[in-house]
Every structure is written in structure tokens, then in C-alpha cells.
Amino acid sequence: MNYSPAKTLILFFLGLIIAGVLLLSLPAARSSTRVSFITSLFTSVSAVCVTGLSVVNIGEYYSTFGQIVILILVQLGGVGYMFVSTFITLLFGKIALKDRRIMQDIFDISSFSGLKKLLSKAVFFVLVIEFTGAVVLTFIFLRSFSFLKSIYLGIFYSIAAFCNAGFGFFCDSLAGFANDPVLLYVISVLVLIGGLGFFVIVDIYDTYGEKHLHLWTHTKGCSFPYRWRLQFLHLYCFLFF
């Protein structure tokens, strides 16, 4: 069978959803109540598609194992189709002429080595941003929770925020932290950076850090509305914090 990035991408996300359903249906994934199939299916799809919708409070309904499964689904789903399709291309080790032209138009790369370098940078930036967010959030949560609990919450909310997922452990979402400007600012920044996408972040870093002459076509198409969001975020924090 011929290699098709589109088909492989669809199969990857379907497989991810099915794996999530199976893992969330295990007895080890539940906290105390019985886990229904439809709840596991809904939660898995919601996590992979990073909608954040949930019919249960995952902080109470699922065990630590179940919560980690959800977090992994959010992380893999949150990296987006562009990241996954790039990884699949590297995995199969070949780039079709049509795909090569698309990469040339969007990312200014046409070789296998250039694609590999781009993916490596993207992974690096994702890990650095999420780790930094987790550390900062851990110190914030330490004011209300134990050390280990704060680390767990810091990691979970950092990944969830960066992937633009709305999952959380508290029944009132983050309403209990409405008067905590530091936490709200950190979450807002993570959401904003994650919404930009790591490929855009890599391009902006390369452009201004390594004196490249121009931005990618992908970045040009995405960055303009986010410049307004960034200005709004700064104005919001200035007025209310």
C-alpha cells in the first residue's frame, strides 16, 4: 500500500482515541465509581481534540492513572496535525514532490534534514515552555497544597494551558483563583503561546535570533491576529493587575 500522509494522520488520531478509551475504561483509571464506556469515549475524544469538555469532574471521577492518561492524550492531541504529520513524514523517511513543494512554500525547507531540524527545534521549545510553566505554577500552588500535589498540579495545568485544553481538577474550574493575578497571567501566557503554535514560535525565534530575512508563509498568516491578542493581554494585565 502506498504511503499517504493524510490517511496515516487520520489513523494516528483514531488510534489515539481508541487507545484512550481502552485505558480510561480500565478499573485502574477510575477513582471509586464505575467508569461507563460512553464517558470514556467522550473524555478521550475531548482530550485528543483538546476541547476540554467533560461530563464528569476528572479530579474526582478518575484516579491518578486515569488523569495521567488524559494528560498524555491532551499533549499528543495538542501538538496538532502539523507536528504529527511532520513526525510521520520523518518516520517513513521520504517526502513526496507535492509535499516538498508545500513545505517549501510554507516553511522554506525542502530537504529531509531541514524537516528533521525543524521538528527538533519544535520539540525543544515545547519542552522548555511547558517545563517553565510547570515550575512557576508549582510555586504558586505551594501556597495552598502540599509539595507533591503542587508539582502534579503544576505539570498538569502547564500542559493543559499550553495545549489550550480546558481540563482541570477543580469543580469550579479556576474560579477559586480569580484573585490570584500571577496564576492567571501565567496560564494566559501559556494559552497564548500554545495558541500561536510551536512552528510559529520557532520561526519567530529563528527570524529575530538568527537574522533571517523573512518569516514563513505559515507565520505570516497566523501571527497578525495574535499580535492583537498579545496587545490585548498586556493591556488587560496592566489595567486589572
Q: Residue range 71-90: average pLDDT?
A: 76
pLDDT band at 67 (very low <50, low <70, confident <90, very high): very high
Lowest mean pLDDT among 44-58, 109-123, 177-191: 109-123
Identify the structural domains of the chain with CATH numbers, from first to last: 1-78 (1.10.287), 95-241 (no CATH)
Which residues lie closer than 8 Å to 15 by C-beta, 6 or more apart?
A: none
Q: Which residues of 115-154 are buried (b: 16+ CB within 10 A; e: fewer)?
A: beebbebbeebbeebbeebbebbbebbeeeeeeeebbbbb
Position with higher pLDDT, 169 vs 18:
18
Specify which of 48-52, 63-67, 110-114, 215-219 reaches the highest per-range mean pLDDT.
Answer: 63-67
- 3-state SS track over 147-211: HHHHHHHHHHHHHHHHCCCCCCCCCCCCHHHCCCHHHHHHHHHHHHHHHHCHHHHHHHHHHHHCC
pLDDT-wise least confident of 16-25, 30-39, 42-51, 146-155: 30-39
pLDDT the model gives residue 48: 92
pLDDT tens-digit profile of 26-54? 989 988 767 788 999 999 999 998 888 88
CA distances to 6, 63, 195 from 223, in Å: 26, 39, 10
Q: What is the pLDDT of residue 220?
A: 47
Grid coordinates belonging to 6: 493524510
Extract the C-alpha cell encoding 233. Answer: 493581554
Mean pLDDT of the chain: 77
Mean local confidence (pLDDT), 203-228: 53
What is the SS3 assignment for 30? strand
Q: Given pLDDT bands bounded at 50, 70 and 90, which one contains residue 221?
A: very low
pLDDT average, residue stretch 190-201:
79
